[in-house]
Structure 1
Amino acid sequence: MEVVDENRELNIEGNREYVVDSHVNNDSHVSDSNADGNQEPYIGMEFASQENAHSFYVHYAKCVGFGISIKTSRRSRVSREFIDVKYVCTRYGKKRESSAINPRPCLKVECEAYLHIKRKSDGKWIVHDFIKEHNHELFPAHAHYFPCHRQINKAQKSYIENLQHVGVRTTTIYATMAKQHGGYENIASLEKDIRNHLDKTHRLSLESGDANAMLDCFVAMQEENPRFFYAIDLDEDIRVKNVFWVDAKGREDYQEFGDVISFDTTYITNKYKMPFAPFIGVNNHFQSRLLGCALLADETSNTFIWLMKTWLRAMGGNPPNAIITDQDKAMKVAIREVFPNTRHQFCLWHILKKVPEKLSHVLRKNEDFKTNLNSCIYRSWSKKQFEDKWQEMVEKFQLLENEWIQSLYEERQHWVPVYMKDTFFGGISTTQRSESINSFFDKYEAKMQADFNTWHKQPILKAPSPFEKQMSLIYTNEVFKKFQIEVLGLSGCRLLKENKDSQITTFEILDFQNNEEFVVEWDASKNEISCLCRLFEFNGYLCRHSLMALLTVCVFAIPPQYILRRWSKDVRSKHHKRKIDEDVFSSKERFDRLYEKTIEFIEEGSLSYESYNFACHTLDEALKQCATINQSLKIDKENVGKNNLCDMPLLDPRPSKTKGAPPRRIKSGIEKGNKRHKKEK
């Protein structure tokens, strides 16, 4: 606490400051409470300005563990200045009434806590009313997630930029700030806020020599974290053809969420007319995760084969179970060669968007064509049913000789849902997920917020169902919303028939919403269930028809084999439990380890004059040894680099497609490092 003058006290906490007039009530607890930074508002309390009052209540809310927002405010009709403001808890008010099938979780619980301030004639502000009590739990440790408690002050911005300038990673900066402030909850910002700030202040501007600038960027990123992977494909003139890269986070995410991949090359180009090709996966919050990306010279089979093999090597040689692409013949050839056991699905969106172009003459004459086509695609529950409907459709609309229709039928196993129902696709049937890459990158850091929402915003239960209650505790919020639709759909189902043959019980269930009958089989000896709709096989959670069958046989909990870990709240991977020796490979991890040891060293070394002298002498010797080691390593790198292709100037890619000699590839830094490591041994 710093005394400004005899009548005012200035309290500073983190990046906020507020001024409290201590002469308002000399008998109050203002001064004493300010000493520990946790003063409570009271009616009659005065502030020098509205900003001071707001800062004070924000600070109080953070200490107690809730967020605030402005409920109402009023201006003077004469001066147009604010004269009345009411701040409320973010959980103030009633829950939204929504007719949507899948409404968003609502924070509102009719909490009545608020602070009402008014402006006096002398310009000061006074607390007119204050309600302290909340009708919900408070979480001081999680208060920093609320938007009102998140901002970066000037001092922090300078500190962040200085650390980033010398090569410290964002995660390390965030961890360092947490140690300095006594915990992440005291920083007043999230890691993504720091990253957003750095993104705004540091932009890579590439003009001439784009290829060399890109290579320099890759080398720097790999020096920062050796788990960063890149590969560059060159032609005979040392001109860049294809480029692939993936960061450490993408490689880690693939270990958990690499079962289903979306790959697309159709929506971004650059001045070199090179398609941008991202590999996209889906995490347990149904969020897109970037698992690698590339710039390609063309879209030939050879190029796709190079890319697929490079990506597979970066991911440890483990191919995905399923991959979704557009309907491209060259891509199909590459996937068949590189991923022979991976299920390949064409993007439905890309196929259906061609209908107006390919069948315009049919659409003009037949308004019901789309209805028939949709019935074939989305209302066929067996292969035979699809083939019968398709044959009926092509005859009805005279499409037997249409080449495009014929080609679709020939490749039906790659795009018709009923042919793909035996493969898990995570609910993805289109690469539309990767179409808006700008939106995707904006949301790339949303996982932390999704984890917070999953653990702290329990979904609203809508039915007296044991399945709904069971899975609300297991699934993430986004997956639970999808499963909840199936629970609610139980009310639209009716059991028509039940037959038992040995261990297998067969149910015929009428689904009023789809106006279809579905067959469900239950094997009590194995606790196994399957439905004709194959929703579990495709999306990874049970359908309403299976749930009705389970209720019929008095099974009130979903069997464990039908609860996929990838959709659960607490996904934990063995790949994250690395050995201690492996954890110090990146500069971030080395920095964190040394920082922790240094703090212990300082605390112990400062306890006595003798330990202080010893600590200083030890540090001097250690610094000399570190400098000698680093200088030796620098010389070794320079010698290795003299004959390295990376030291040769690269030519920018050609704007048009290139053909010629077999490509040459720049080895990634990981490959070079491994080779050098073997030599040293």
Structure 2
Amino acid sequence: MTSPEFAPLFFDSEDGCPSETNYSVHDSPKTHDKILEPYIGLEFEDLDSVYIFYNAYARNHGFGIRKNSSAKSQVTKDLIWKNYVCDKAGKKNTEDPSTSKKRSVTRMDCKAKLDVRRSKDEKWVVTGFEKQHTHELDTPRRTIKHRSHNVAHKSLIVKKAMDNLHEAGLGPSKIAKTLNSTGVNNDITAQNVIDHLKIKRKNSIGREGVLVAQYLQAHMVKDPNFFFALEIDSDGILRSLFWADSRARNDYLTFCDVIVFDVTYRTNRLMMPFAPFTGVNHHRQSILLGCALLADETEDTFIWLFKQWLNCMFDKHPQVIITDMDRAMYNAIKIVFPNSRHRFCSWHINKHLIEHVYDMRDTESEFASKYKIWYNSRTVQHCEVLWKELITGFKLQNNKWLSKMWNLRHHWVPVYLKDIFVAGMTSTGRSESINSFFDGFVNSNTQLPEFVVQYEKALLTRRHSEEVEDYMTLNSTPVLLSNTNIETYASKIYTRAMFKLFQNEFKQSLECGHQKLTSSGNSCTYLVGLASESIEKWYKVVYEDFKSNSILCDCAKFETDGFICKHIIHMFFKKQMFVLPSKYIIKRWTIQARHMVAYEKGPLDNSNVQLVTPIMKWDLTNLCHKLVEKASISEKSFREVYNLISSKLDELGLTDDTTINNLKEQEQVTVDITTIRDPIQVRTKGRPKIATRMHSSIEISQNIFKKRTCGACGMKGHYSTTCPKNRKVITKFYIAFIVIKNIIAKLSFNFCRIDS
């Protein structure tokens, strides 16, 4: 450590932080009580020291500097002379006719300068110094706005802070405001932030595949059970990637019954489809069970993805998987998930129905009402009879789409799916809501490395919502409608969200009536429904013998949603059953759902976890800046602080060598993936669009029928700004017409002169 007498602190031009400068000044120590004034003969070790010194002098005196001219040796071609000037030196070039944009004058022909020349002993010696300026000097607050002093945004710590704030979702203006609110004269502008992010994105182009692979590989150090897979073609180009952390894998062990898979989302620079695997937790909240970015939507790509996901999830097939009607996806699911039931999204089917059946566009039409009756058929036999009547009655025998959908009826018609548990889901709406949620974290310019990072941020936000709901469930007591044991027990065992659904069924059960149909041995069949509804809308409920306490309802709410319906609750009271049987409690909806499976996540080594964040480093740097300012009041306080920091650095043993070694170790970990090439940008149909979400053909067709409506005249086909009855529009049109007419007349006159 250099003696404090020869090591004044200055702001380095590269990182904006105080740095230790080892230039040799052959002068008495008293010159260091304040920043030196340059003089002829002052020596420096190198040009960096010259710049730092003169820039610090300039900042102390209210002006900025810039590097100007230089000279090289004609023999060795080495640099032998350098000139630094005030940033207002020179004159504006007013003779250049190519300059189209007139800019303000900033050059004042200032003569202030500093010249240095290389000596025989390789030192840089001041050979010329001009102190006087041709302009007024700035105040300290304005001085830091000069380009040579406004270097805080170039600091590595500030850049890292910008990155972290950007990842947190803040815009450039808010990032600049946050960094400037620390009490230090940083003077960071929103444009500084924009420039940094632009350079970062530019530097990542061509390296996105490598950076993503490095990030995922580094994540395994913090999370030993983290899983990721890359699909790379023969040319080394990254095609697809899949990843899931240990929390997602553990969640799947608990909630592996129903999975929603959807790929209608392309929010990244390369337009790669985002494919999340979505489940539902015990609070009926959407949870992410891994996700992927795909090269395309072909059958082979889906097969690769599903195999990787299955491998990640311990080869445990989901009971049900819900998707749209994509053919490639359908074929891949049959191959990879033969043990799973595949359900089509009901929302997409109803939308496609409007496309292929014209009569469905009018929801009040006869076809729409009869289709609704058929869709809600309660038995398979009744469903098949009504379908034939529907097709023949409206002469749809030649409709190929309806014929195809009938052949696939086991994947979407409710009566054929009454035996499978879907956790209340019949569409890919949960996946699409996840996509909508991600809109707040990513956009169409998001690069792959940033996308993966933002995914982690979004994931933490989703999991925080679950933690809040856990807390509310455990620290609140629901208001009961009765003193019955059934409702009381349900309020203690179910989560808050699930109990609300159960309580709604319980409330309606009190308004139900019943009618006995048949009785055979220990079995009785009843019709049960709301007393206010017609008996045709009631459901059949079968009650077995008292010992088994078995009650089956034709509405199949328990089989599909996982909690008993109002019809069964009504029969409980009818049969004097005041205790809710345990077989009607599905544990995945209970408070203890997560305790059913032992936590799979391995112990983490805290030494590998980054406990000190860049924001914390930034705060410490600002504290150091304030300490330097306070210590500079007197020579005594400066030396005390200097010695204190020096001893603390020696105590910690933090040197540049240890940092380099740590960097080398990190490079060795990721050296095997540095050859990965960036994915090819996915080509979309038609002209490029800014929109980030893919739309179905029905959504596109609906937009075609929409016509502009004028707010002035009420007519279709134009807006008020282009309304023919708008005087301003007519005036503008008339003026444009006259101008064009005059131009044509002038051109015609010129042609006539030429002809003559």
Q: Fold conserved (TM > 0.5)?
A: yes
Which residue of structure 2 aligns with residue 647 of structure 1? 674
In structure 2, which of residues 405, 417, 437 is the aligned counterpart of residue 420 of structure 1? 417
Preserved CA contact (<8 Å) 2:210 2:677: yes
State how far apart, in whole Å, the 1-side matches of 2:605 and 2:283 are. 30
- Which residue type is aligned with residue 416 of structure 2? Y
Structure 1 residue 266: deviation in Å? 1.6
Three-state SS of the structure 2 residue aligned to 1:232 is strand
- 8 Å Cα contact 2:242-2:290 kept in structure 1: yes
Deviation at 1:471, TM superposition (A): 0.8
Q: Deviation at 1:425? A: 0.7
2:504 is the alignment partner of 1:485: yes
How far apart are residue 464 of structure 1 and its match?
5.6
- For normalisation by structure 2, the TM-score amounts to 0.52
8 Å CA contact 2:514–2:528 kept in 1: the answer is yes
Tell me if 1:304 matches 2:302.
yes
Distance in 2 between residues matched to 1:393 and 1:497, nearest whole Å: 32
**Is 1:558 aligned to residue 580 of structure 2?**
yes
| Alignment partner of 2:431 out of 411, 431, 434 | 434
CA contact (8 A) 2:380 2:415 kept: yes
Residue of structure 1 in register with 2:546 after alignment: 524
Specify the alignment match of 1:410 in structure 2.
Answer: 407
**Hey, what's the Cα distance between the residues in 2 that align with 1:325 and 1:488?**
34
- Partners in 1 of 2:542 and 2:608 — Cα distance? 53
For 1:84-163, list aligned pairs within 5 A: none
CA separation of 1:528 and 1:586: change in aligned 2, threshold 3 A: farther
Q: CA deviation at 1:311?
A: 0.5
The correspondence of residues 2-81 of structure 1 with structure 2, limited to 5 A, is none
Distance 1:467 1:398 in 2: 52
Name the aligned partner's letter for residue 295 of structure 1: L
Superposed displacement of residue 320, structure 1: 0.8
Question: Deviation of residue 510 (structure 1)?
Answer: 3.8
Which residue of the other structure, out of 590, 599, 603, is the alignment partner of 1:583?
Answer: 603
Say whether the 8 Å CA contact 2:238–2:676 is kept in structure 1.
no
Output the CA distance in 1 between the equivalents of 2:390 and 2:325: 22
**In the alignment, structure 1 residue 400 sits paired with structure 2 residue 397:** yes
Structure 2 partner of 1:468: 487
Equivalent of 2:559, from 534, 537, 552?
A: 537
| Corresponding pairs, count | 436
| Alignment check: 8 A CA contact 1:271 1:655 kept | no
* Counterpart selection for 2:475 from 452, 456, 470: 456
TM-superposed deviation, 1:346: 0.4
Partner of 1:53: none
Give % identity: 36
Per-residue deviation, residues 263-302 of structure 1 (Å, max 9, x unmatched): 0012335443321110001000000001011111111111
Q: Kindly provide the amino acid, as one letter, of the partner of residue 347 in structure 2.
A: W
With over 3 angstroms needed to count, the CA separation of the structure-2 counterparts of 1:365 and 1:424, relative to structure 1, is: closer
TM-score (norm 1): 0.57
Aligned in 2, Cα 1:517/1:641: closer, same or farther, shift over 3 Å?
closer
For residue 261 of structure 1, report the CA deviation from its aligned partner: 0.4
Q: Aligned in 2, Cα 1:462/1:649: closer, same or farther, shift over 3 Å?
A: same
Specify the alignment match of 1:670 in structure 2: none
Distance 2:554 2:411 in 1: 19
Q: Which amino acid aligns with 1:488?
A: K
The one-letter code of the counterpart of 2:584 is Y
Kindly indicate whether the alpha-carbon contact (under 8 Å) linking 2:377 and 2:415 is maintained by their aligned counterparts in 1. Answer: yes
* Deviation by residue 1:566-620 (Cα, 9 ceiling, x = unmatched): 10123233544569xx42457578989xxxxxxxxxxxxxxxxxxxxxxxxxxxx
Task: Find the residue that maps to 2:576 and give its secondary structure.
Answer: coil
Structure 2 distance, partners of 1:496, 1:247, is: 53
Amino acid at match of 2:682: P
Q: Is the 8 A contact 1:226 1:585 kept in 2?
A: no
Cα offset for 1:260? 0.7
Name the SS for the 1:385 alignment partner: helix
Q: Which residue of the partner structure matches residue 211 of structure 1?
A: 209
CA–CA distance in structure 2, aligned partners of residues 365 and 470 of structure 1? 43
Kindly indicate whether residue 325 of structure 2 is the aligned counterpart of residue 327 of structure 1.
yes
Deviation at 1:211, TM superposition (A): 1.8
What letter corresponds to residue 216 of structure 1 in structure 2?
Q
Q: How far apart are residue 369 of structure 1 and its match?
A: 2.4
Q: CA deviation at 1:466?
A: 3.8
> CA shift at 1:249, angstroms?
1.7
Check conservation: 1:346, 1:415, Cα contact below 8 A. Answer: yes
In 2 relative to 1, CA 459–240 (structure 1 residues): closer, same or farther, beyond 3 Å?
Answer: same
Cα gap change, 1:574 to 1:630, in 2 (>3 Å): farther
Q: Quote the Cα distance in structure 1 between the aligned partners of 2:398 and 2:339.
A: 33
Rounded to whole Å, the distance in 1 between the matches of 2:599 and 2:234 is: 43
CA distance in 2, matches of 1:303, 1:641: 26
Contact between 1:583 and 1:589, CA under 8 Å: does it hold in 2?
no
Matches within 5 A, 1:584-663: 584=604, 644=672, 646-656=673-683
Cα pair 1:363 1:369 within 8 Å, conserved: no
Shift of 1:522: 2.6
Letter in 2 for 1:451: D
Q: How far is 1:389 from its partner?
A: 2.1
For 1:483, the aligned partner's letter is F
Alpha-carbon distance between aligned partners in 1 of 2:291 and 2:348, rounded to the nearest angstrom: 20
How far apart in 2 are the matches of 1:534 and 1:447? 28
CA contact (8 A) 1:250 1:292 kept: yes
Q: Alpha carbons of 1:463 and 1:337: their partners in 2 closer, same or farther (altered >3 Å)?
A: same
* SS of match in other structure, 2:539: strand
The change in CA–CA distance for 1:278 and 1:640 in structure 2 (over 3 A counts) is closer
Larger radius of gyration: 2
Q: Residue deviations 1:446-473, cap 9 Å, x none?
A: 0111112212333332356543222111
Contact 1:463 1:488 in 2 (8 A): no
Aligned CA distance change for structure 1 residues 523 and 410 (closer, same or farther; 3 Å):
farther
Match of 1:507 in 2: 526
Give the CA RMSD over aligned residues: 4.0
Shift of 1:433: 1.1
User: 2:225 matched to which residue of 1?
Assistant: 227
1:106 maps to what in 2?
A: none
| Rounded Cα–Cα distance in structure 2 between residues aligned with 1:461 and 1:575 | 31
1:106-161 C-alpha deviation (Å, 9 max, x unpaired): xxxxxxxxxxxxxxxxxxxxxxxxxxxxxxxxxxxxxxxxxxxxxxxxxxxxxx99
In structure 2, do the counterparts of structure 1 residues 359 and 296 end up closer, same or farther at CA, with 3 Å as the change threshold? same
CA distance in 1, matches of 2:606, 2:552: 47
